[in-house]
Amino acid sequence: VCGEWTCSEPTESSYLVQLAKKYKAILVTHEHRYYGSSQPTSDWSTPNMKYLNTDQAMADLAHFMTTLSKEFADKYSIPMKRWVIFGGSYPGALVSWFRGKFPHIALAAWSS
């Protein structure tokens, strides 16, 4: 999970890429609403900032993960609900809160 920055593709040598290869996992990056390219409004006026909060960020993650779970289940014939989510700094807190609130979606969370 990316946080308060623009997401970038992980490098081949990154720890997450190595873990994904080791466990034959699909590695997906989720960009937080309002950061990077994920701008839901045309400007950052006060009324447009009402959805910049942790509850909405977790709802966005839940929708993203359940939608992809269905797509992956259909495309790759793999079980749903097999997400392990990673985050550091603010995203680290976010993935911990997400795991607590949505244990039926995230199998585990790695927070640093």
Q: Which of 66, 57, 68 is nearest to 97 (CA)?
A: 57
Tell me what pLDDT residue 60 has: 94
Asked if residue 105 lies in contact with residue 62, where contact means CB atoms within 8 angstroms, the answer is: yes
**Closest by Cα among 87, 78, 81 to 106:** 81
> The whole model's pTM is what?
0.85
Summarize pLDDT for 57-92 with one digit per residue, the tens: 999 999 999 999 999 889 988 777 679 999 999 999
pLDDT score at 98: 96
For residue range 20-64, what is the model confidence (pLDDT) as tens digits? 999 988 889 888 888 888 888 889 899 989 889 999 999 999 999
